[in-house]
């Protein structure tokens, strides 16, 4: 049993092209029926304004699979704590023995979520783009921009957040980090109308993006909604998309933007939805020309967790990192 | 974050009257709608003859709740390994922060399963009994007898297992341990006809106990079936019970003996089923006289896992056991 801490995972596991590739491959496996992925398990701690999700997926032939525990406790700010926490456990797929505990505190979720955004953009965004729009200015807004930077070149970034101050801080930080001009603007509309790609990264409960702002060639990735009550896009945005992609159709129909489009009746169960794994495994399932409007709805899947946990494990073990516990003794500490 | 190993958990967490009490209280909480318990999450690793279950439950007012991972890999014997493995994680119910990892390797599951058996027997078995029957001679067969010994006095134990050799070994070991005469017999029928309480602890896929062997005053606890294809009791055994108790009716109707009785049509969804938490919280829900035949169907619930994990945590922390990891450093090792 190996145990890895957040600090060393952040030090040695990067959001890079290999991380994007392992997440892409995981979606391909999902599309090819090589994955056993039960629905998300959820425990609501209503009296504390908290929720805990458990996600998992077994990818055939892989030597381990992950079980991920992630929590959101929305009164934590009153205690000066971040709302999100989490960890992953790797289980041996030949014996069922727990092999590793990754005390990543949500870091690997940030990486795999951003990696899925990059996969979506690489198949759905125009090849040549000028401006990227970011809605939200939190941690995932940064990771999404870093991930996009792996799969597309761009000259300018527009960012909008409810807090103008946070948007300004984001713009400063990301300009310095990426060496690309990042500018805070004062409305979501200004972002959408002037960008080739828009990524929404908020916990919004009311739509932020209106269908009337859409324009030819636009690609939107909405990664914020992962619960019934969350919504970033007007239902009509989904309806106007020439290609609508979901990480998994079943999950988006329950927890994502698709859910609201179905409820509003602008789409039906029979409407054409492409899954992310079809994009990565079927030739020609992505964008066909520079005029199409494309939307990708990401809710987060266990297969991404298994992919990133395996990637992290490999990176850590090859550097001989982590604490090893065997026969009830600590054998090694770093 | 504290990490406890199997060795120290076995050393300091005992199957005693307090363990039985915390499990009893957990069922009472469940019955009083003080528990949020989602259905079991299950990952099938079909190509390796393996399965992994995740169970959890939040008991209101408790400062932590457990998420338990348990696996059964039925080719492990080919590798010289036990089929079962497992661990528990305790999550803070105010903040969502993971507080402890219990690398118990299934030990705490053994304890909480046996404790539920003791709870059932304490409400359903006759007060004065002579002979206890055990079907199966594995680890849980031992724990169930130890647990029963906490709530009832008895003079003799009859044990039957498919392997006469294992039954004989069980008889020798348990005679030595409990100072009570334990005798291996050559049929399940001999066990049932001659016992006041029978506990079945097998992974049987075909019924072992026939209805024609039942007699007035008998109590049966069947704890083996926890999956659709497992069955220890003929459906008619369930139908003949004057009182039928399930740990949870919903789960037994899916995974337990009740499932087969419903499928066979000898019971219906409307048949009277008492839940274990009703026994522990409602006066007079248990055995009413020495003539009744009672049956308890146990499939194993997340609320037991949370109860036993909290009990174990308290026992370990008061002895200052475990490894503490804080700010990515090992602060203490035992």
A50–B87 CB contact, under 8 Å: no
Q: In chain B, which residue's Cα lies nearest the Cα of A35?
A: B45
- Tell me which chain A residues have a C-beta less than 8 angstroms from the C-beta of B38: 41-43
Instruction: Give the mean pLDDT of A318-330.
Output: 86
**Catalytic residue list of A:** 68
Please give the pLDDT value at position A99.
Answer: 97
φ/ψ of residue A267, rounded to 5:
-130, 160
Whether the predicted pLDDT of A162 surpasses 60: yes
CATH code for the domain defined by B122-299: 3.40.50.720
For helices A17-31 and A139-151, the axis angle rounded to 10 degrees is: 90
Name which of A178-192, B76-90, B188-202 the model is least confident about. Answer: B76-90
The secondary element (H helix, E strand) that includes residue A277 is helix A276-281
φ/ψ of residue A59, rounded to 5:
-100, 120
Residues forming beta bridges with residue B35, ordered by sequence position = B59
Q: CB-based burial of residue A329 (10 Å sphere; 0-12 exposed, 13-18 middle, 19+ buried)?
A: exposed
Whether the predicted pLDDT of B326 surpasses 90: no
So where are chain B's domains?
Answer: 2-108+303-332, 122-299
CB < 8 Å from A in window 75-104 of B:
76, 79, 81, 83-87, 89, 91, 93-98, 101, 103
List, for residues B279-289, the tens digit of each pLDDT value.
999 878 899 99
Q: Which fold has domain A2-108+303-332?
A: ornithine cyclodeaminase, domain 1 (3.30.1780)
Cβ atoms of A142 and A132 closer than 8 Å = no
Query: B334: pLDDT confidence band, cut at 50, 70 and 90?
Result: low
Q: In chain A, which residue's Cα lies nearest the Cα of B49?
A: A94
φ/ψ of residue A127, rounded to 5:
-65, -40
What mean pLDDT, rounded, does chain A reach? 95
Please give the pLDDT value at position A284.
Answer: 79
- Tell me which chain B residues have a C-beta less than 8 angstroms from the C-beta of A56: 41, 43, 52, 54
CB < 8 Å from B in window 58-77 of A:
58, 60, 65, 67, 69, 71-73, 76
A96–B71 CB contact, under 8 Å: yes
CB < 8 Å from B in window 109-138 of A:
none
List, for residues B68-108, the tens digit of each pLDDT value.
999 999 899 899 998 899 999 999 999 999 999 999 999 99
Query: How far apart are the CA of B62 and the nearest CA of chain A, in angstroms?
Result: 11
CATH code for the domain defined by A125-299: 3.40.50.720
Q: How far apart are CA B104 and CA B111, in angstroms?
A: 11
Question: What ipTM describes this predicted complex?
Answer: 0.91
Cα distances from B209 to residues B116, B191, B204, in angstroms, run 21, 10, 11
Q: How far apart are CA B159 and CA B187, in angstroms?
A: 9
């Amino acid at each position: 049993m190996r145990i890895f801490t957040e600090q060393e995972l952040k030090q040695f596991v990067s959001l890079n092209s290999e991380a994007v590739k392992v997440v892409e491959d995981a979606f391909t496996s999902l599309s090819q029926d090589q994955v056993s992925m039960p629905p998300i398990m959820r425990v609501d701690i209503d009296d504390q304004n908290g929720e805990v999700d458990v996600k998992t997926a077994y990818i055939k032939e892989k030597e381990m699979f992950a079980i991920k525990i992630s929590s959101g406790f929305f009164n934590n700010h009153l205690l000066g704590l971040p709302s999100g926490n989490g960890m992953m456990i790797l289980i041996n797929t030949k014996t069922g023995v727990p092999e590793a505990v990754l005390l990543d505190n949500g870091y690997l979720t940030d990486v795999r979520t951003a990696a899925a955004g990059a996969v979506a953009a690489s198949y759905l965004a125009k090849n040549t783009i000028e401006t990227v729009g970011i809605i939200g200015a939190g941690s995932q807004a940064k990771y999404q921009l870093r991930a996009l930077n792996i799969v597309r070149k761009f000259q300018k970034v527009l960012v909008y957040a409810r807090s103008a101050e946070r948007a300004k801080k984001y713009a400063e930080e990301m300009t310095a980090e990426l060496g690309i001009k990042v500018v805070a603007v004062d409305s979501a509309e200004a972002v959408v109308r002037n960008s080739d790609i828009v990524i929404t990264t908020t916990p919004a409960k009311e739509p932020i993006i209106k269908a009337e702002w859409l324009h030819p060639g636009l690609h939107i990735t909405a990664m914020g909604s992962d619960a019934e009550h969350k919504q970033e896009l007007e239902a009509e945005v989904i309806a106007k998309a020439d290609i609508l992609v979901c990480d998994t159709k079943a999950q988006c129909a329950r927890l994502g933007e698709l859910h609201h489009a179905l409820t509003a009746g602008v789409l039906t169960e029979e409407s054409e939805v492409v899954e992310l794994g079809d994009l990565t495994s079927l030739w020609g399932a992505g964008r066909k020309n520079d005029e199409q409007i494309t939307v990708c709805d990401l809710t987060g899947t266990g297969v991404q967790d298994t992919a990133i946990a395996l990637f992290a494990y490999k990176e850590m073990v090859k550097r001989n990192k982590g604490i090893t516990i065997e026969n009830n003794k600590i054998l090694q500490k770093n």
